[in-house]
Structure 1
Amino acid sequence: MAEARIGISGWRYRLWRGVFYPKGLRQADELAYAAARMNSLELNGSFYSLQRPASWERWRDGVPDDFVFAVKGARFITHVKRLRDVDAPLANFFASGVLDLGRKLGPLLWQLPPTLGYDPGLLEAFLGRLPRTRAEAARLAARHDERLEGRSSFRVDEDAPLRHAVEVRHPSFGRAIEDWTALLARYDVASVVADTAGRYPRIDHVTAGFVYARLHGETELYASGYDDASLDRWAAWTRGHLADGRDAYLYFDNDAKVRAPFDAMALAARLRG
């Protein structure tokens, strides 16, 4: 049965303390507090730097058994290397401990920079390098370079498919939408539906066996909230995909004015009702 995962993009924000998080709550307890109120979140520290196995284990053990993390792929791969010569960076990423999340590992999110335009050859080469299962990811991780010596972890206790989603930001993807979505569908990779107050392309096409949406702000990027009518529309969008048998992952990234956690809980409540 298809399920919806509704959550937030990250959880460690100073402005949330005393608003979403109760005053006096320890920073170490913020993940558990958030995870008790939603069933998923995007783990975005992995975007900025390679994390250590102990961190992945701590996050895994700090949430309920039925919780799922979406994991943001490293910006070194997407923004620095710009998808070129990424065999070693991909191996290092998967060797850093991502697979230690076990059953709590959900989709892997690859966010492309606004300056990276549609290049079918480059994109197909990248999609073709992405591991399709956890066992395949572990074999890739075993090829990590010396930077991960002594600090790698990529044991897989139970093999399972891996899901990937790509978020694009260059306008050329909108102009090449048919070719781009066909390419994603060929690799069963989801096209992220990005709500960005009109800043970046919004591509709402089904290209995989699941759907993925990032809600960055309806009228003001990273800041504006979602009113009742907007949340009703997103609830209807989610129900439609669930009815068609597709899991749905939705993450609120409108964190600047402490709207994300409250919008996520409001959307989840609509779906429960």
Structure 2
Amino acid sequence: MATRTKPQIRVGIGGWTYAPWRGVFYPEDLTQKRELEYASRQLTAIEINGTFYGLQKPESYMKWHDETPDDFVFSLKAPRYATNRRVLAEAGDSMERFFGSGLTHLKNKLGPINWQFATTKQFDAEDFEAFLTLLPKKLDGLTLRHAVEVRHESFRSEAFVALARKYGVAIVLAADGEYPQIADLTAPFVYARIMGTSEKQAQGYSKKALDTWAERASQLAAGTVPDDLEPVAADTGAKKGRDVYLYVISGFKERNPAAARGIIERLHQ
């Protein structure tokens, strides 16, 4: 089998169960149990939010794997019990329970794991590095990819970017939301969560904005930070291709699938 070398750009949404999507994204006559099957054939990735709130069963991961196309990918939001704590270095037990819950049943469809931190969590270099050392690189033979979604201004720090690079962890790009933008490339992949969809636009974003996001995704995949995004630290030099995972999250949620599809269409033109 040939080894894939070209960076992949995957675009999706958060979850797949949302009542207002019925009759808008999902056909009127589609049964709820077939929503994942349908969504996974319209998009190229989904970020699972349920894993943030509690452990999922191995059978669920198996079911999600089997209902989706071979080239589909799931990102997982890591459990809040690991990130919403005063001392991050003490997150090991929560991580162990999460990694033992059966997520490797997703097999090759397991994408990056997003470790989201509270908006009040401030950067403490020693404690954050202790947290990063707890993140396993492999699990049951699968290589794991980790991203950290930090949402406090104190993380706009060269020291934080250096730590992320040291451990090969991506910094989630919050490009059009209310959280600090840190557009530095620190891992072999890019993880973006865009939050600017509006009820006024049929596809959530204007045609120009969708064009812009498709172009940004292409530049990031080529290893270049777009000029209109804001890195914190100095450029590290050599440009390397990177897989990109771009999720349309929050904003006017009813329009998020349309926005994701709009970006996918542009990437395939």
TMscore range, shorter length: 0.7 to 0.9
When the two structures are aligned, how many residues end up with a matched partner? 244
5 Å matches for 1:22-171? 22-80=27-85, 83-134=88-139, 156=140, 159-171=141-153
* 1:84 to partner: Cα distance: 4.1
Moved over 2 A (4+): 80-84, 241-244, 254-257
Residue 270 of structure 1 is matched in structure 2 by: 266
2:7 to 2, 6, 28: 2
More deviation in 249-258 or 55-64? 249-258
Aligned counterpart, 2:169: 189
Answer with 85-94 or 255-264: which moved more. 255-264
The TM-score, its normalising length taken from structure 1, stands at 0.85
Shift of 1:255: 6.1
Deviations 1:150-174 (A, max 9, x none): xxxxxx3xx2321101111111112
Tell me the CA shift for residue 237 of structure 1. Answer: 1.3
Using the alignment, how far apart are the partners of 1:218 and 1:180 within structure 2?
29
Aligned to 1:237: 216
1:90/1:47 CA distance change after superposition, 3 Å: same
What corresponds to 2:185 in structure 1? Answer: 206
TM-score normalised per structure 2: 0.86
Is 186-195 or 71-80 further displaced after alignment? 71-80
1:246 partnered with 2:242: yes
Deviation of the 1:242 alpha carbon: 2.4
Q: Which runs of 5+ in 2 are unaligned?
A: 1-5, 224-240
Structure 1 spans left out of the alignment, 5+ residues: 135-155
What amino acid is aligned across from residue 75 of structure 1 in structure 2? R
**Equivalent pair of 2:198/2:255 in contact (CA under 8 Å):** no
**Corresponding letter in the other structure for 1:269:** E
- The change in CA–CA distance for 1:209 and 1:257 in structure 2 (over 3 A counts) is closer
